[in-house]
A = this chain, B = another copy of it.
Amino acid sequence: MAKQAGRPRDPGVEASILGAVQDLLIESGYAGTTIGAVAQRARCGRSAIYRRWETKAELVVAAVGALQVAAEVPDTGTLRGDLVAAAMHFARADDRTAGVLASILSEIGRDDELRDIAYRVVGGPPVAALTAVIERWIDRGEVRADAPVALIAGLVPTAAFGSVSLRRRALEPDAVVHMVDEVVLPALR
């Protein structure tokens, strides 16, 4: 692929467009996220958007796919510390993610591509990180070997998402610690 002639695309434009889409999805929902509003928020022309994506649906898919929950696997030295750190991570980082996801939930019901991407965002890295944490402590003998790893690893992000999307507010740190102490730890030992 030879280097294209002509003025090169400004990578910053693409990033600011996707960010603007995410902002607008949270603030105004899918229907309220018009191409014109995106262009205004991203400080670009509408043509810059249509040059990159053919339809609004593709644009939204790209914006959702650009969400990435960093899947850090904490290592605090204690089981409780790791679990709290991992859970806290969702409650904070998922704030924006959950907002975007909540805004497209009704579209998810009818768009296979969107559903796959959304499920990959929530159900991928977070679950993998929690699974890694729990399995590590199984190896270390603090969690029983037949603990319901998949159940817990799926439950925490799902509950966090459900709560955030319904109440439209991030989980309090107290609530996260409470949940780990009262629900997650008893289920694992």
Which residue numbers of A lie inside 8 Å of B, CB to CB?
Answer: 25-31, 99, 101-110, 115, 118-119, 122-123, 148, 151-152, 155, 158-159, 161-163, 165-168, 178-179, 182-183, 186-187
Contact = CB atoms under 8 A, between A and B. Distances in A.
Contact of A162 (B31, B106, B161): B161
A163 to B, nearest CB: 5
B106 A30 contact: yes
A162 B152 contact: no
Q: How many copies does the complex hold?
A: 2
Nearest to A146: B182
B122 A166 contact: yes
A178 B148 contact: yes
A166 B29 contact: no
A175 B105 CA distance: 23
Given A29-B110, A155-B159, A186-B187, 15 more contacts: A27-B109, A29-B106, A31-B31, A105-B106, A115-B168, A119-B167, A122-B166, A151-B178, A152-B182, A158-B159, A159-B162, A165-B165, A183-B183, A183-B187, A187-B187
A53 to B, nearest CB: 20
